[in-house]
Amino acid sequence: MDSHGTQGPQGTTTQGGITVQRALELPGLRGGLPEVVAGAERLQRTVRWVHAGEVPNIASLLKGGELLLTTGLGLGTRPAEQRAFVRKLAERGIAALVVELGPRFARLPAALVETARAAGLPLVQLHREVPFVTVTEEVHTEIVNGHYALLQRAEEVHRRCTEALLGGGGIPQVLGILAEFSGNPVFLETADGQLLYAAGADTECADPLQVWEGLRGRAADREGPPASAVIVDVPGGGPGAGSVRARLVLLAVESAPLPVHRIAAERAAGSLAVVLMQARQEEELAARGRGDFLTDLAEGRITAEDAPAQARVLGFKPGSTDGPLLPVVMRTADGLPTGGGWAVLARAVAEELASVGVPALLGVRPVEGRVPLLLGLRSESERTAVADRVAAALRAGVERAGMRRPGSQPPVVVVGVAGGWAAASAGLRHAAETATAAQGLSDRPWYDARRLDIDLLLWRLRDHPDLAAFVDRAIGPLRAHDDRSKPPLLPTLQTYLAHAGRKAETARELHLNRQTLYNRLARISELLGTDLDDPQTVLALSLALRARRHVP
């Protein structure tokens, strides 16, 4: 196949123009008695435009694909000039050179013909004078008519796609229409290259999924899709003008893609963008609906007696009717984007949860930044193992959905107490509150709600002036010291209390020698005026260290 184009129906071309052969058949050039003296095997090249000129440096004015008309005044008189003239035109990639014989040349010079043959450039001589303006008008009219015909064919495909969608069809039907039209497999992939849908033509072409596996193999070898593939972005409607939700990929398996196939794919991409947007909206509405149900259950607006039937309607069917339910709440970091990202998050988390292997009812609460869910366990003994897998799935879903900004806190996952529907109500409420209170704690895969009751109590008192006064009395001198002096002493105290006063473990975690730790503990006791071995003092200091996250 010539790199400049391939023949289409009725002598038109596949590259948005007409062929050199078709141009020679039009009345204007046909009246000049054209004779092809070189490049006869290249007459299927595409004529993108017509240009007439008589200057030696005409090649620098061209872009490629032109049919150049000339009387030869710019060709030069010496063979070297003529050879250079033809070579430059060939390098520029023009479609053909047409020279009108007359006063300048009675016949074309041998150097001109030989160079054109060597370069594979179609060279035509006209034995009669023709009006170049007439040739230009005819060829350009033919090109415009060809473009219009392409648009009509693409519009017909777009109409069929629209009718399929209005008739209740979806993305598979649209891809099937494109595959049938192009005679090649068509794929819809995510912006990062994951396959969503595939469709093959109704011919005996290769299985589209096998073709896709081959494409993935090329990508793994860093070859990427073939150069002849048609790839069209499906706009995403997200932040930024260049947002891409998916990509249409038409692979040249049975035949080379034509320009009309790209035009049709571009038209279809607009329809697919609407379908994907609608699907995402419906997906988010469904996720919000499940989130509303779980919130209503947590806040007592749905009774334990009515909850199972409503949960079944929402698709939650625990494997065991009397098995315990495990409430889990994930809270995202403050300031994360909302809007359509929650649909992506719900889908990503649901896909990650599929590998956990337990029934799950997942909802979203964008306003509160929460993802509540219920899990159906076979027995209470599964709680820890399931919690590990669910927490990993939730965090992986956040990453896949792009819902964590660089430098932001990781999401907090809190696991409640397993039990029946009545316990699930209280457990969801407790986990939701605890997830908020746990913001700012040292990062863990998940927190047991039962172990954060003190933090929850302190969080509830966050606006009470007595809490701030208590923190100031307990550790105020240390906070003042750390503001003006180094090394800071609060981390030493916190680590010491976390290890229940075991000095060896404290020194090891802080990477201090024993004497340095003893000196710091003595300085802490001096600043606070208290005994770090006194149980009441230890309790007060532990509470103050937990409460300081909630006070200025």
Q: What is the pLDDT of residues 233-267, one digit of tens each?
A: 887 654 444 456 788 888 777 677 777 788 888 88
More confident residue, 126 or 226: 126
Task: Tell me what percent of the residues of the chain surpass a pLDDT of 90.
Answer: 36
CA distance 448 to 536: 26
**Whole-number mean pLDDT of the chain?**
82
Per-residue model confidence as pLDDT tens digits over 376-390: 998 889 899 999 999
Give ranges for CATH 3.30.70 in the chain: 283-452
CATH of domain 283-452: 3.30.70
CA distance 127 to 32: 6
In sequence order, the 6+-apart residues with CB closer than 8 A to the CB of 39 are 96, 116, 117, 120, 121, 122, 123
Chain length of the chain: 552
CA distance 464 to 469: 9
Per-residue model confidence as pLDDT tens digits over 470-513: 999 999 999 999 888 889 999 999 999 989 989 999 999 999 99
Average pLDDT over residues 35-40: 93
Q: Phi/psi at 38 (nearest 5 deg)?
A: -155, 150
* Helix 383-400, helix 341-353: angle, nearest 10: 140
CA distance 520 to 512: 10
Q: pTM for this one?
A: 0.52
What's the CA dihedral at 517, 519, 524, 525 to 10 degrees? 120
Structure tokens of 15? 């590259």
Per-residue model confidence as pLDDT tens digits over 424-458: 999 999 999 999 888 878 888 999 999 999 989 99
Q: Taking Cα atoms as reference points, which of 215, 363, 231 lies closest to residue 286? A: 363
List strand residue ranges (DSSP E) for 279-384, in order.
325-331, 360-362, 370-376
CATH of domain 153-277: 3.30.450.40
Give ranges for CATH 3.40.1390.20 in the chain: 9-143
Kindly write down the DSSP assignment for every residue of 431-486, as one continuous string: HHHHHHHTTTSPP-S-EEGGGGHHHHHHHHTTT-HHHHHHHHHHHHHHHHHHHHSS
CA distance 340 to 317: 27
Task: Tell me what percent of the residues of the chain surpass a pLDDT of 70.
Answer: 86
Parallel, antiparallel or unpaired: strands 34-38 and 49-52: unpaired
Give ranges for CATH 1.10.10.2840 in the chain: 465-550
CA distance 400 to 44: 49
CATH of domain 9-143: 3.40.1390.20
Write the class of the CATH domain 465-550: mainly alpha
